[in-house]
């Protein structure tokens, strides 16, 4: 039936395509089509030329790399391929095992569900039977109880007119285990005969015995029902636990299966790429110089031929697009319908499929229904086998649908997660690059600051040296001047004020000389100018005081300058240490961020590769599952119809009433 529908669809599509082609051909200009084809060829030739140029440039780049790079690549690929092959073999073995496990789990789960359904149906029937039995016991016990009460109250005549009396009468007649005498006594009592009046005590005893027997039977039936309920609940609990465990295992193994299959795709792509690169590198290395020269010659020849081809195509387009040519073509090619011929190959192919679609089993059934001499037991067995096969096929479709749905969900979740990871990595890389740029500016500013600080320290040190030298020179000069002035003052005091003169003076400078001999005697006595000497000595004291003050101020200034210099050097040293530490930290941080960027870039590449493999796996899932998911209900409905038809055929061949069979099937489906 499925094949017939496929053939019918093929015929309809073929007819529609042929009709569309005829309509399109009827309204098209043949010359315009030729021109379009030529222009498309021009674009294709040009694109091929660009592609070949790109490949040629890459090839020439290989030529320049030399032997060492190729040897290293070959060695790495040769070491990698066996390991990847082993990993693929192991992963495929795991995939196979997981598929077998899944199939086993799905079969076990289906069997458990079928057992639960069967047990539920049996339990429902047992419960219905018990309810009916209990209702009958309750009615009978009630009838016996009312009969006993009526007899004891002397109202047996009134009781015989009630519905309970009729129930009791039917019960007595249906009791096979009752003694004939007791049955006769009760029958006479219940019939209301005036000719026979048994003793009430005897009737009451019989009724009590019947009630006890029925109560005991009801108690036994109730106990059996409770036992059956307990067993059913235990079975359902165990089967439910089994189904849940199998479902969980199926889900976990489907997730693992999806991941493994994506991994296999990745590894196969990696192995294929590595193998191709390995062979190409070995071949290239073997004839490096020869191949490079040959490739250059081939490229030159191809470029020349491609140029000639493009020129020929352009000239042809120009010829066909010429106004005179177009006018000529209009006259010589009035209609476009003759340009294309629609093939009926699709119809012929469909007819061939129809001829091959008939199954031997169906032919055998046709012969049987046409009254040929056939062993109908074999036909019935064939029908049973076909029905069993159809059910197996449906179970396989159910399992495959569940597998496809779960794999699509898992793969889609993984794809979204990988896409988010790629996006986050891109943001992290961008943020890292921005951070590296900022830290580079900060590092540059810190280095410039340290350089400027070192320059300032050097200048301050040089200035301090100059100031200290000036101070030292000033102190020395002022001290020498003070000493010289003191010597002069003492010399004057020695002459003018001997009491104030010091006993001895140390020579101040290298210019001091040994005291000359006393002067020769003069004719007249010398008169001291004491008053004038006092003014000179006072002036010398003022000068000594000025020198002393200058030296004091110079010492204070030197001390302050030295303290300021030391403070500045300490602050500068601390600032330089801080800046140097910051520079080292930022340099380290920049290196770490750069390493993070490189790691994120590698991770992004790996994640992107995994994403591509996941997308390829999803594509393979579409190729594997789309058709089944699209036509699942159609296939199920067709298979169900085929099973019903085969079942009806079997019933007919077995001599069943088809109308009764249909009615029973509808009733069963209605109950289900």
d(CA 15, CA 19): 6
Domain co-membership, 286 together with 371 = yes
Given 400, 429, 450, the domain boundary residue is 400
Is the pLDDT at 215 greater than 80? The verdict is yes
Across residues 92-117, what is the average pLDDT? Answer: 90
Is residue 23 within 8 A of residue 363, CB to CB? The reply is no
Quick one: tokens of 163? 């519905």
d(CA 559, CA 565): 10
Domain co-membership, 95 together with 66 = yes
Burial class for 432, CB neighbours closer than 10 Å (0-12, 13-18, 19+): buried
Q: What is the pTM of this model?
A: 0.42
Report DSSP letters for 536-562, one per residue: HHHHHHHHHHHHHHHHHHHHHHHHHHH
Domain co-membership, 125 together with 15 = no
CB hemisphere CA count around 392 (13 angstroms): 7
Please give the pLDDT value at position 27.
Answer: 45
Domain co-membership, 278 together with 205 = no
Task: Give 416-467 pLDDT, tens digit per residue.
Answer: 898 999 999 899 999 989 988 998 998 999 899 989 988 888 988 899 889 8
Is the pLDDT at 336 greater than 60? The verdict is no
Please give the pLDDT value at position 264.
Answer: 87
Domain co-membership, 80 together with 172 = no
According to the per-residue pLDDT averaged within each range, which of 77-86, 319-328, 641-650 is highest?
Answer: 77-86
Spatial CA neighbour of 172 closest among 194, 188, 156, 154: 188
Quick one: tokens of 578? 């801080």
Domain co-membership, 79 together with 127 = no
Within a domain: 462: no
State how many domains the chain has: 2
Burial class for 106, CB neighbours closer than 10 Å (0-12, 13-18, 19+): buried
Within a domain: 611: no
Kindly compute the dihedral angle of the four CA atoms of residues 375, 379, 381, 387, in this order, to the nearest 10 degrees: 180
How many CB atoms are closer than 10 A to CB 467?
15
Q: Which residues contact 339 (CB under 8 A, 6 or more apart)?
A: 25, 28, 30, 33, 333
Within a domain: 366: yes
Domain co-membership, 225 together with 271 = no
Select the more confidently predicted residue: 293 or 200.
293
Query: 359: pLDDT confidence band, cut at 50, 70 and 90?
Result: very low
Is residue 1 within 8 A of residue 640, CB to CB? The reply is no
Across residues 333-341, what is the average pLDDT? Answer: 41
Task: Give 123-157 pLDDT, tens digit per residue.
Answer: 999 899 999 888 888 887 877 777 777 665 655 55
Given 263, 280, 314, the domain boundary residue is 263
Within a domain: 93: yes
Is the pLDDT at 229 greater than 90? The verdict is yes
Domain co-membership, 54 together with 34 = yes
- Listed in order, strand segments (DSSP E) in 322-445 are none
Is the pLDDT at 122 greater than 90? The verdict is yes
Query: 230: pLDDT confidence band, cut at 50, 70 and 90?
Result: very high
Is the pLDDT at 352 greater than 70? The verdict is no
φ, ψ of residue 529 to 5 degrees: the values are -100, 70
Across residues 400-414, what is the average pLDDT? Answer: 86
Across residues 174-190, what is the average pLDDT? Answer: 63
Domain co-membership, 310 together with 297 = yes
Within a domain: 558: no
Select the more confidently predicted residue: 222 or 37.
222
Domain co-membership, 122 together with 104 = no
Residues of the domain holding 76:
2-113+265-400
Please give the pLDDT value at position 430.
Answer: 92
Domain co-membership, 367 together with 229 = no
Helix axes 180-191, 163-174, angle to 10 degrees: 160
Task: Give 360-402 pLDDT, tens digit per residue.
Answer: 444 444 444 444 444 557 667 777 888 888 888 888 888 888 8
Across residues 547-555, what is the average pLDDT? Answer: 88
Select the more confidently predicted residue: 448 or 1.
448
Quick one: tokens of 233? 């609940």
Domain co-membership, 157 together with 258 = yes
Q: Per mean pLDDT, which range of 75-79, 217-221, 344-348, 526-530 is the poorest?
A: 344-348
Query: 533: pLDDT confidence band, cut at 50, 70 and 90?
Result: low
Please give the pLDDT value at position 420.
Answer: 92
Please give the pLDDT value at position 238.
Answer: 93
How many CB atoms are closer than 10 A to CB 69?
13
Is the pLDDT at 121 greater than 80? The verdict is yes
Q: Give SS3 for 491.
A: helix
Select the more confidently predicted residue: 5 or 166.
166
Report DSSP letters for 511-533, one per residue: T--PPPPPPPP-SS-----HHHH
Is residue 537 within 8 A of residue 492, CB to CB? The reply is yes
Within a domain: 448: no
Task: Give 36-47 pLDDT, tens digit per residue.
Answer: 777 787 788 888
Is the pLDDT at 7 greater than 70? The verdict is no
Given 263, 291, 317, the domain boundary residue is 263
Across residues 169-194, what is the average pLDDT? Answer: 62
Residue with tokens 């539920």: 120
Is the pLDDT at 234 greater than 90? The verdict is yes
Within a domain: 536: no
Is residue 368 within 8 A of residue 379, CB to CB? The reply is yes
Please give the pLDDT value at position 12.
Answer: 36
Stated length of the chain = 672
Within a domain: 629: no
């Amino acid at each position: 039936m499925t094949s017939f529908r496929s053939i019918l669809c093929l015929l309809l599509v073929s007819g529609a395509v042929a009709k569309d082609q005829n309509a399109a051909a009827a309204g098209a200009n043949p010359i315009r089509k030729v021109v379009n084809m030529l222009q498309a060829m021009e674009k294709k030739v040009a694109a091929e030329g660009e592609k070949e140029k790109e490949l040629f440039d890459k090839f020439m780049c290989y030529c320049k790399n030399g032997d060492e790079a190729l040897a290293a690549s070959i060695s790495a690929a040769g070491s990698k391929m066996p390991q990847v092959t082993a990993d693929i073999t192991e992963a495929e073995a795991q995939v196979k095992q997981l598929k077998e496990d899944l199939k086993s789990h799905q079969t076990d789960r289906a069997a458990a569900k079928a057992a639960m359904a069967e047990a539920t149906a049996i339990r429902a029937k047992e419960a219905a039977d018990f309810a009916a039995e209990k209702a009958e016991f309750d009615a009978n016990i009630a009838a016996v109880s009312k009969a006993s009460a009526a007899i004891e109250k002397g109202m047996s005549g009134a009781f015989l007119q009630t519905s309970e009396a009729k129930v009791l009468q039917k019960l007595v007649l249906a009791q096979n285990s009752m003694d004939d005498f007791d049955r006769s006594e009760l029958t006479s009592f219940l019939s209301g005969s005036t000719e026979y009046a048994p003793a009430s005590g005897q009737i009451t005893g019989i009724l009590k015995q019947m009630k006890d027997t029925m109560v005991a039977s009801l108690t036994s039936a109730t106990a059996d029902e409770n036992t059956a309920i307990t067993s059913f609940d235990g079975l359902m609990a165990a089967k439910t636990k089994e189904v849940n465990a199998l479902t969980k295992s199926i889900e976990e193994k489907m997730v693992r299966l999806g991941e493994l299959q994506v991994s296999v795709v990745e590894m196969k792509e990696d192995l294929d790429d590595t193998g191709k690169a390995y062979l190409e590198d070995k071949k290239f290395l073997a004839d490096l110089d020869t191949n490079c020269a040959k490739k250059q010659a081939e490229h030159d020849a191809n470029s020349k031929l491609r140029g000639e081809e493009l020129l020929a195509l352009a000239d042809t387009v120009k010829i066909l697009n010429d106004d005179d040519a177009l006018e000529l073509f209009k006259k010589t090619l009035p209609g476009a319908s003759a340009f294309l011929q629609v093939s009926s190959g699709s119809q012929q192919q469909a007819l061939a499929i129809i001829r091959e679609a008939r199954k031997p089993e169906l032919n055998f059934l046709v012969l049987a229904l046409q009254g040929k001499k056939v062993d109908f037991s074999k036909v019935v067995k064939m029908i049973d086998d076909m029905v069993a096969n159809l059910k197996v096929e449906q179970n396989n479709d159910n399992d495959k649908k569940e597998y496809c749905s779960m794999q699509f969900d898992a793969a889609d979740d993984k794809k979204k997660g990988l896409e988010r990871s790629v996006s986050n990595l891109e943001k992290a890389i961008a943020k890292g690059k921005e951070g590296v740029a900022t830290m580079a500016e900060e590092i540059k500013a810190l280095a410039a600051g340290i350089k400027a600080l070192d320059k300032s320290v050097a200048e301050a040190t040089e200035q301090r040296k100059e100031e200290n030298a000036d101070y030292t020179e000033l102190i020395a000069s002022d001290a020498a001047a003070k000493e010289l002035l003191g010597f002069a003052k003492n010399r004057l005091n020695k002459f003018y004020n001997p009491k104030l003169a010091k006993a001895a003076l140390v020579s101040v400078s290298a210019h001091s000389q040994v005291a000359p001999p006393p002067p020769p005697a003069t004719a007249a006595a010398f008169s001291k100018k004491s008053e004038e000497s006092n003014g000179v000595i006072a002036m010398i004291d003022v000068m000594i005081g000025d020198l002393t003050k200058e030296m004091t101020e110079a010492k204070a200034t030197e001390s302050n300058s030295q303290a300021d210099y030391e403070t500045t050097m300490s602050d500068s040293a601390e600032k330089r240490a801080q800046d140097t530490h910051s520079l080292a930290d930022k340099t380290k941080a920049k290196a770490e961020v750069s390493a993070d960027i490189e790691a994120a870039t590698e991770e992004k590449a790996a994640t992107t590769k995994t994403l591509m493999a996941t997308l390829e796996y999803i594509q393979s899932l579409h190729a594997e599952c789309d058709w089944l998911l699209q036509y699942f209900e159609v296939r199920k409905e067709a298979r169900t119809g085929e099973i019903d038809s085969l079942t009806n055929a079997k019933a007919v061949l077995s001599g069943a009433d088809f109308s009764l069979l249909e009615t029973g099937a509808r009733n069963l489906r209605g109950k289900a």
